[in-house]
Amino acid sequence: MIEFYAQIRLAHIAAVIASGSLFLVRGLLVQSGRREWALAALPRYLSYAIDTALLTAALMLLTILPSAMFSNGWLALKLLLLPVYIGLGWLALRKGKTGRQRLAYFSGALLAYACIFIVARTHDPLGPIRLMFGA
């Protein structure tokens, strides 16, 4: 299966970008008072489909790559940040009672997404910190 690594990685990256972009659009819709659009069937089911493809590609990459590649903890941090991103996103889109709460949850979810993205790009669990402080 290693011979398909490049294609699987590309599918994973495309799904990451699609998932984050759709969340951004849905979050902005909620922030602008169009919550019913953000929670309509089409964006919800599209989100499920994209996230299923994302998870499938991630699991495929995990099975074909050598375990030594993950020895510095970057993947573990990504996996720890994922439920944070999902939870804050769920709160931002569905459960925030006030506009201020929804904005705080949305901002936190975007920050978690950015950290996951930076950690993945740098393969360094300290990637976001190094980026902030130029180390």
pLDDT of 51-100, one tens digit each?
Answer: 999 999 999 988 888 776 667 788 889 989 999 999 999 999 999 899 99
Crossing angle (nearest 10°) for helices 5-31 and 99-122: 160
Q: Residues of the chain with pLDDT > 90: what percent?
A: 73
At 62 the three-state DSSP class reads helix
> The whole model's pTM is what?
0.90
Kindly list the distances between the CA atom of residue 131 and the CA atoms of 4, 114, 116, in Å, as whole numbers in the listed order. Answer: 31, 11, 13
